[in-house]
Structure 1
Amino acid sequence: MALADDTTDAGTVESLTALHWVGIAAAAVTGAVHLYLGVQIGGTFGTAFLVATAGFAAGIAAVVLDYRRTVVYLLGIPFTAGQIVMWYAFNDVPPVPPIEIADKAAQIVLVVVLAALFRRERGG
């Protein structure tokens, strides 16, 4: 089972595919947006944004360092999808500010990429 030993062929940055890089870029975009909003909002709610930033950064680092990538994919899907749901639940939409459009687009791309990477790792 891939979860027990999910190393890739090279175990280095060279083992990252174009799909990995799309996911890394999407995670970086949403992480940067969360960092910006966390600093702007401040307080307890802003801290939640900063925690999300740390989660995206940790996920990027784990994938780049080839640390249990399959587990990162599995954890990243609900982590990111949950943020989309929470955003919708806590916001009056529309209108949607451009920064939030970029964030949600990046998150949707990230969920799709993580699902595709997991499926590929599992041989399906």
Structure 2
Amino acid sequence: MSTATEPSPSNVETLEPLHYAGIALAVVSGAIHLWLGVSFAPSPLGISFLFAGVVFVAAAAGVAVGYRRGLLYRLGVPFTAGQIVLWYLINFAAGPKSFPADVGTLGAVDKVAQVLLIAVLVALVRRE
């Protein structure tokens, strides 16, 4: 007796170029967050970076192995958008930095990856 309501292939043969793009973008953002988390640990900001990094990497792994992909796409959009909003609020709206002059290379790479990731996730949701 099977209770599966969604096909969940467990191999990479079902991945398409859009999946690979999303996985790569999530890993880029996850790696940046993990690096920042280690840099700022054990402060609350460091812990939040570590949490976000683990979520990005775990979600990328989940998509790669076919674990509830549709759910990961749908949860990934607000999670990633929330990262962008929080980054702006903490660094620019409530912080001493000036936007866009003080974004920096790491911030720019991360935010470009996240904006592209949202676009990929929306495209994957629409394809379902």
TM over 0.5: yes
Deviation at 1:28, TM superposition (A): 0.6
Q: Does 1:7 align with 2:14?
A: no
> What CA deviation, in whole Å up to 9, does each residue of 1:36-64 have, x standing for no partner?
11111221110000000110111011101
Structure 1 residue aligned with 2:27:
28
Using the TM superposition, give the Cα deviation of residue 11 of structure 1 relative to its aligned residue in structure 2, in angstroms: 4.6
In the aligned structure 1, how far is the partner of 2:5 from the partner of 2:56? 23
Whole-angstrom distance in 1 between the partners of 2:64 and 2:6: 13
Partner of 2:57: 57
Indicate the SS of the match to 1:25: helix
Paired positions, count: 117
Query: Which runs of structure 1 show a deviation greater than 3 angstroms over 4 or more consecutive aligned residues?
Result: none
- Taking the aligned partners of 2:6 and 2:73, their CA distance within structure 1 comes to 11
**Structure 2 partner of 1:66:** 66
Which residue is equivalent to 1:45? Answer: 45
Do 1:5 and 1:68's aligned partners in 2 also have CA atoms closer than 8 Å? no
Shift, 1:12, TM fit: 1.9
Consecutive unaligned residues of structure 1, counting only runs of 5 or more, are none
- Alpha-carbon distance, 1:14 to partner: 0.8
Structure 2 portions without partners, runs of 5+: 93-98
Matched, 1:17 2:9: no
| Largest Rg, 1 or 2 | 2
RMSD, matched Cα: 1.3
TM-score (norm 2): 0.86
Match of 1:113 among 102, 109, 120: 120
Tell me what 1:89 maps to: 89
Q: Does structure 2 retain, via aligned residues, the 8 Å contact 1:63–1:72? A: yes
Q: Report SS of the residue matched to 1:91.
A: helix
